[in-house]
Every structure is written in C-alpha cells, then in structure tokens.
Structure 1
Amino acid sequence: MDASLIAFTGVSAGLVAMPGADFTVVVRNALVSRRAGIACALGIGAGLLIHVTLAVAGVAAVLAAVPALLRALQMVGGAYVLYLGVQTLRQRDNEVVDAGEGSTARPLRQGFVTNALNPKVSLTFLSVLPQFVPAGSAALPRTLLLALIVLAIALVWFQAVALLVDRLGNWLRRPRAARAVTVGTGLALTAFGVALLAGPLTAL
C-alpha cells in the first residue's frame, strides 16, 4: 500500500467514525438488540453502495474532462473535512433514543435510508476522493479502489459499533463518555483538514 492510500485510509476512518446520523441510528438499534444493530450496520453499507457508484463515475469524469479542477477540489475537500471537525467539536451531546421493537427488516431499512438520503456522504466522496488520485494515473480504477476502501471501513466500523453498544449500552449512555468520543473525533478531523489544505496551498 502506497503512502497516499495509507493517508486516505486514515482520513476515511476519521470521516466514517465521526458521530452523526449513521452512528446514531446504529446505536439506537444496537441498544434494542445485537441483531438489530448488525442489520442496521448492513443497511448503511448498502446505502454507501449508491454513493460509491455516483462518486466513482462523477470523479472519474471530472478528472478526465477538466484536470485543472483537481486543485480546486483538493482545497474544497480539505476545507470540508476541517469544517466537519470544527462542527463536531461544537456539537452538543446527543441523547440515545430507544429504537423500539421490530424485526431485522426495520433496522436494515433504517440504516439504508439514513445513509442513502444523506447528502453529506456524497459531498464527502466527491470532494475528498480526488485528492488521492495521483497525477497521471487512471482516474476510474483509482477512485474505485478508494471508494471500496471507504465501504470496507464503514462495514467494519458500524458492525463493531453495534457489537460494542450491545455490551456497553449503559456505559455509552453516560454524557461524559459520549462527549469524549465526540471531542476525540472532532480533533482528529480538524487535524486531517489542516493537513489536506496544506498540500495544495503550499503548491501555489
């Protein structure tokens, strides 16, 4: 794995782990049962497939048609990651709401709809992926690889969240624990955003 892929994996892990709608809906379902949490995590993975398809086609087309936009997209991506980090640090603690009883079809659907209808996911793919496509390389295979890395990280992460919440549900309801996760993720994303902006800015 080259340095660019290692860096991208780190950025992706930070973005995927950021507390948000996907995280909240997995926690809700996992607090009901382990099966519900796992089904919800799989639904999120299915939703990501839509974003993967759109991002791969869109980024590849943009890079092939207008290479001059690469630097602008890089700066947008860095600014967006920085924005996410700052917003995460500023957000208030969210209460975990019980998801209620139901079959695995319901949490699966909840995970899919929550992710597939979240415009921030598409924006993240479209703004961040181009930064990790080396100049002169084929855009389509590279963006496909990057998108699959995100999908794999998301599947592993949300499955892990579901299993942990099933065992540590009472502890995770405590405001102090929830705040610690939020602050840690926010600091990591802020650092990633600064690093991503530094590349294109220093090249000017």
Structure 2
Amino acid sequence: MNNYVNFLFLTVVLVIIPGPDYILITKNTLEFGKLAGFKTIFGTCTALMCHTLFSIIGLSALLVKSAILFSIVKYIGAGYLIYLGMKSLLTKQDSTQQQEKATKTNFYSQGLVTNLFNPKIAVFFLTFLPQFVDASTGTWWHFGVLGITYISITFIIFGLYTLLLSRVRHFFEKNSTQTLINKSAGIILLFFGLKLMLSE
C-alpha cells in the first residue's frame, strides 16, 4: 500500500512538471477554447495508453535496445514538434478566421503524435513503473494498473488545468495577445523539438 501511495505522489509531481503537453494545451485552449484543450488531452492519454501496452508486450524494450529504431522514432517526434513550433510562429492571428482554423486543426492528433513518437516516454515507462511493480501480484497485471493510474492522474491534472484556462480565456482574446501566445508557444515547441532531436 505504501508503495502505491509513493507512486501516486511521484506521479502527481512528474505530471505537474511543464513539458510540450502543457504548451499545446495552453495554446489550444486559449486560442480555440475548452473543447480544443480536451481533445489535445485525449490524444495525449491515448499515446500514454499505447506506451503502457508497448511496455507490457515488450515493444518498448525493443525500441530502447535498437539504436536505429530509437533514432527513427526520436526524429519523427522531434520533427513534429518543430513543425508545430514553426506553424505557431508563422500563423497570422485573425479572429474572423477562428472558426475555420478550429475546424482544420486536429487537436487530438497533436496530443497523440507528440507523445507517441517521443521515445523518452517509452524509456520512462520502462524505468519508472517497474520500481513499483509487486511481482507477487502478477507483474504484467500490476504494470497495467500502474499505467492506467498514471494516465488517469494525467487526465485529471491536465483537465483541471484546461478548465482553469477556459475560465480566464476572455482575458486573452485580443489579436495582439493571441499573437504573443502563438509566438511564445512556437518558440518553446521549437526548443523542445530541438532538445529531443539532440538527446541521446
């Protein structure tokens, strides 16, 4: 029981640490509203479910052991973050085209791809979760429970953050403010993309 409580505490701390997900959720919620933020979160959680499954069936271990496969996944993920960053930097803010932009933007895919093609998440699942697995209860079953718990906490924290952003969104509706948010988000996404690309 104490082991599980420690897992819950560490998971909350880890999920709170800012990363690309927070940038995407912040940008999408402030620009397009609460629904866009939650679609991004659903994409993120779907990717985490995939990583949990990959860890259980051994695909994540294969990814970590293969330098070529690891690099391919890493460069796809980094390239996508850089693409989103450049898109955010170059997009001109126009409130009259807001609805059209929202229709064309696949927020779910943004959350899904940025996490699915981040091999560091696979490494994280392989190194973090096993520390709390009780072999006496069935290793893979317990691993799955921990993975679902991690995903649930992620959804709750990101969801609360999105609801908070939606409450203050009206303060950021000016075109000039939205432009500043887009430029800032673009720069940070570029940073995360380059950081992932240069990581080992």
For the aligned pair, the TM-score class normalised by the smaller chain equals: 0.5 to 0.7
Deviation at 1:103, TM superposition (A): 2.5
Secondary structure of the residue aligned to 2:103 is coil
Amino acid at match of 1:13: V
* CA distance, structure 2, for counterparts of residue 40 and residue 142 of structure 1: 28
Deviation at 1:34, TM superposition (A): 1.2
Distance 1:103 1:17, change over 3 A: farther
TM alignment of 1:5-16, pairs within 5 A? 5-16=4-15
* CA distance, structure 2, for counterparts of residue 52 and residue 135 of structure 1: 17
Distance 1:147 1:22, change over 3 A: same
Q: Hey, what does 1:148 align to over in structure 2?
A: 148
Deviation at 1:36, TM superposition (A): 0.8
Matched, 1:158 2:158: yes
Q: Hey, what does 1:106 align to over in structure 2?
A: 106
Matched, 1:23 2:2: no
* CA distance, structure 1, for counterparts of residue 22 and residue 106 of structure 2: 16
Matched residues, percent identical? Answer: 27
Contact 1:51 1:116 in 2 (8 A): yes
Amino acid at match of 1:41: I
TM alignment of 1:1-204, pairs within 5 A? 2-32=1-31, 33-58=33-58, 101-103=101-103, 106-169=106-169, 170=171
Q: Hey, what does 2:185 align to over in structure 1?
A: none
* CA distance, structure 1, for counterparts of residue 55 and residue 8 of structure 2: 17
The runs of 5 or more residues in structure 2 that have no matched partner are: 62-87, 92-97, 178-200
| 1:137-187 CA distance string (max 9 Å, x none) | 42111111101101111111222121111223559x9xxxxxxxxxxxxxx
The size of the alignment, in residue pairs, is 135
Distance 1:165 1:58, change over 3 A: same
* CA distance, structure 1, for counterparts of residue 104 and residue 163 of structure 2: 15
Contact 1:133 1:143 in 2 (8 A): yes
Q: Hey, what does 1:85 align to over in structure 2?
A: none
* CA distance, structure 1, for counterparts of residue 4 and residue 58 of structure 2: 20
Specify which structure has the higher proportion of helix.
2
TM-score, normalised with respect to structure 1? 0.59
The runs of 5 or more residues in structure 1 that have no matched partner are: 62-96, 174-204
TM-score, normalised with respect to structure 2? 0.60
Deviation at 1:136, TM superposition (A): 3.6
Q: CA RMSD in A?
A: 2.6
Deviation at 1:105, TM superposition (A): 5.8
